[in-house]
Amino acid sequence: MLANLEDHSSLVMALSQADIPWLRQLLKTALHNGVSIHTIIRMIKDALERGYRPRGHTAEVTDLVLLVYCLGGSNLLYALSKRLTLLSLHTLHTKMSFIKVTPTIGHIFVETVKKNTQDVVIAPRLQAGPFIRRGISLLINETALEEAAVYLPRANGVGGLCWTHSHLVNPTLYNYQSAINIATSLQSGKIHLGKEVTVVGAHIFGEDGLYPLLAAPTCKSENAADMEFVFNTVINGWRTAGGERDVGPLWSLATDGDATCHKAGHRVFLKKRLPIMSPLYGVLSNLPGMNLYTGEEDVTLDFDYKHIIKREHLHPVEIHCY
């Protein structure tokens, strides 16, 4: 009898390392709960006869399910959940909150930034309960984008058009002629498909994560004036949406090594010298090389440190107060 138990124990341990998701999960749960060998064998038999529906999943499995849902949608997730015993979409919704970012269709408007500020940042934080107001840094960068025009049902419009030129055609689909106008404008080069997407997010000092405020396709033809417009639009959207009141004040805007962003950043955020009456002036004014110029309401310009180090070999580095 003892020999049989030892054999069963070895079999259970071997099976727990097998690459069978539902079996590995079943054995992990059973061993964690300290059930007997005979009970485990009965659980395996029941699972083979009636199917197994695990209740506990690791963070890795949850991340995998989220990736499947984002890339393939609910139909692919349903098929794989049946085959690999993954979480269902309903279970995934109970484990995390889904927030939809309003994309930019056509030109960039402050209303889009306001809506994302309210839906993505303010509303979830207010629902979570009391929190400490902290300083905010706006982060801007570009990321890869599939060059394609897509239909967005919620807006009944065409997305994926570059924001700098899409005002030359109406992206809303009122009728068949609307689609023809967009296709003709793309073919003639009047408007363009976005090569990348410009993303602006809000980072809260002292916390992890990034809250997207703007996602605008770009054909990479922006000049410094265009980027100034983007900076000012995002700042105005944050403030008019109540971001400073409900989350925290803007302290800085950070960008990478893009020359156009640098030029626009110097115009917007190096406009005035830090006043003598500022509580920071007494400390910062005595630091050699410190740049005391800021934007409106003392918002400062920040750069990705990797690009600062890279430029150190080309010309002296300017230190900014932030």
Is residue 252 within 8 A of residue 302, CB to CB? The reply is yes
Domain shared by 19 and 142, yes or no: no
Measure the CA–CA gap between 255 and 89, rounded to whole angstroms.
36
Per DSSP, helices labelled H in the chain are 2-16, 21-33, 37-50, 59-84, 89-95, 110-116, 123-128, 176-188, 224-240, 243-246, 259-269, 281-284, 305-311
Measure the N-to-C terminal CA separation of the chain; round to a whole number of Å. 73
Among candidate residues 95, 127, 159, the one where a domain is terminated: 95
| Residues near 272 by beta carbon (within 8 Å), at least 6 away in sequence | 293, 294, 295, 296
Domain shared by 124 and 263, yes or no: yes
The phi and psi torsions of 264 (rounded to 5 degrees) equal -65, -40
Specify the pTM. Answer: 0.70
What stretches in the chain show pLDDT beneath 50? 1-7, 11-12, 14, 16-19, 52, 313-322
Paired with 115 in beta bridges are none
Tell me the residue range of the domain where 235 lies. Answer: 110-320
Domain shared by 59 and 183, yes or no: no
Measure the CA–CA gap between 181 and 203, rounded to whole angstroms.
39
Measure the CA–CA gap between 222 and 219, rounded to whole angstroms.
8
Residue 105 falls inside a structural domain: no
Is residue 209 within 8 A of residue 229, CB to CB? The reply is no
- Token pair, residue 234, equals 């995002």
167 secondary structure, DSSP code = G
- Token pair, residue 180, equals 């023809």
Is residue 321 within 8 A of residue 291, CB to CB? The reply is yes
Average pLDDT over the chain reads 80
* CA distances, 272 to each of 88, 177, 252, 291, 296 (Å): 55, 50, 15, 11, 8
Is the CA virtual torsion 125, 129, 130, 131 positive or negative?
negative
Rounded to 5°, angle at Cα 24 from 18 and 29: 150
> How many structural domains comprise the chain?
2
Paired with 253 in beta bridges are 138, 301
Among candidate residues 48, 64, 95, the one where a domain is terminated: 95
Domain shared by 133 and 87, yes or no: no
Residue 202 three-state SS:
strand
Domain shared by 258 and 152, yes or no: yes
166 secondary structure, DSSP code = G
Domain shared by 84 and 137, yes or no: no
Among candidate residues 63, 95, 127, the one where a domain is terminated: 95
Domain shared by 163 and 241, yes or no: yes
Residue 294 falls inside a structural domain: yes
Measure the CA–CA gap between 148 and 318, rounded to whole angstroms.
40
